[in-house]
Amino acid sequence: MPELPEVQTTVNGLKSKVLKRAFVDVWSDWEKLVKKPTDSNLFKRQIKNKKIIRIYRRAKNIIFNLSEDYSLLIHLKMTGHLLLGKWKLVDNIWKPVDKKSPLNDPYNRFLHIIFYLNNNHMLALSDVRKFAKIELWQTKELEKELQKLGPEPLEDDFTFKRFKGCFTKKRGKIKQVLMIPEIIAGIGNIYSSEILWHAKVHPEKLVQNLKESELKNIYKATQKVLRLGIDLGGDSFSDYRNVNGEKGSFNEQRKVYKRENEFCSRCKKSKIKRIKIAGRSAFYCPTCQKP
């Protein structure tokens, strides 16, 4: 599932290309992707001719502030990613106009909604599992909704004091708590395992038992790993691609996620282990991350 670095990579790619453009029309073969409003004809009518004023990320949400106080929210969920380009329908299948474009990558072929922009370009969602969420909000209403989320870990005001404050009165295993968006925004299964490996903290350690020094290490690792993820254009181990349809390269820097039974690259003594925490896989080094 795309996390903060992947969503930020998408947002960065969109900013340079679709700001100040307007939506002209929408095509979809899976109208259930649009959750708000549930009437897809109403959605099409409301988004038509709205200009894109601002694009930003909040947690794992991509948000387009539009003219007339509307906002479009897209959550990529499991396997979604946004693509920019030009396609044409050939025998009822969307094919990229440019045959050499990375948009021809098989992972980019699951187009289920296409927004037509007023510069003859298209913004498409490729989503093999069709779990993505698209919502059109009144901007004020959406802003209120987003206030329920925890702080952004890469903002300047996210100090160690603030980070520590996120865990006050919280209980549970650190791996699980790090992934709760109302506590800290944007961290999912890949980056939580990576962060804890860098911080040398066992994923099952209880938040209420963490020492100050361990919290400090997790804080530093959170910023380091998420920044690295953005610098490398995200992780494309699974379906994620950037708006041009290209892979990110965080994959090469992955230390533990989906590396079970490989030797730890730091201690070189132990093999990476995989355990289940609340139904999700967690990966760690038993030598570097003692219980």
**Angle at the Cα of 157 from the Cα atoms of 151 and 162, rounded to 5 degrees:** 60
Among 31, 44, 280, 286, the one annotated catalytic? 280
Rounded to 10 degrees, the C-alpha dihedral 182/187/189/194 comes to -140
Nearer Cβ to Zn ion (55/288): 288
The least distance separating Zn ion from the CB of residue 251, rounded to whole angstroms, comes to: 19
Q: Say whether 68 is catalytic.
A: no
Among 2, 5, 96, 203, the one annotated catalytic? 2
The least distance separating Zn ion from the CB of residue 200, rounded to whole angstroms, comes to: 8
Cα separation, 176 vs 182, in Å, equals: 12
230 within 8 A of 250, measured Cβ to Cβ: no
Among 50, 57, 60, 205, the one annotated catalytic? 60
The least distance separating Zn ion from the CB of residue 253, rounded to whole angstroms, comes to: 16
Burial profile 246-281: b = 16 or more Cβ within 10 angstroms, e = fewer = bbbebbeebbbbbbeeeebeeeeeeebbeeebeeee
The least distance separating Zn ion from the CB of residue 263, rounded to whole angstroms, comes to: 8
Cα separation, 286 vs 10, in Å, equals: 35
Q: Say whether 2 is catalytic.
A: yes
Residues that bind Zn ion (CB under 5 A): 264, 266-267, 285, 287-288
The least distance separating Zn ion from the CB of residue 264, rounded to whole angstroms, comes to: 3
Please give the span between the terminal C-alpha atoms of the chain, in angstroms, as a whole number.
27
Which backbone phi and psi does 277 adopt, to 5 degrees? Answer: -125, 115
Nearer Cβ to Zn ion (109/266): 266
Among 3, 6, 135, 194, the one annotated catalytic? 3
Nearer Cβ to Zn ion (203/233): 203
Q: Which residue is nearest to Zn ion (CB)?
A: 264
Q: Say whether 269 is catalytic.
A: no
> What DSSP element (H or E) covers 111?
strand 111-117
Cα separation, 79 vs 67, in Å, equals: 29
Nearer Cβ to Zn ion (32/290): 290
112 within 8 A of 130, measured Cβ to Cβ: yes
Nearer Cβ to Zn ion (82/196): 196
Among 141, 158, 10, which residue's Cα sits nearest to residue 75? Answer: 10
The least distance separating Zn ion from the CB of residue 262, rounded to whole angstroms, comes to: 11
Nearer Cβ to Zn ion (136/288): 288
Task: Region of 130 please: left (phi>0), alpha (psi -120 to 50) or beta.
Answer: left
Q: Say whether 106 is catalytic.
A: no
Please list the active-site residues. 2-3, 60, 280
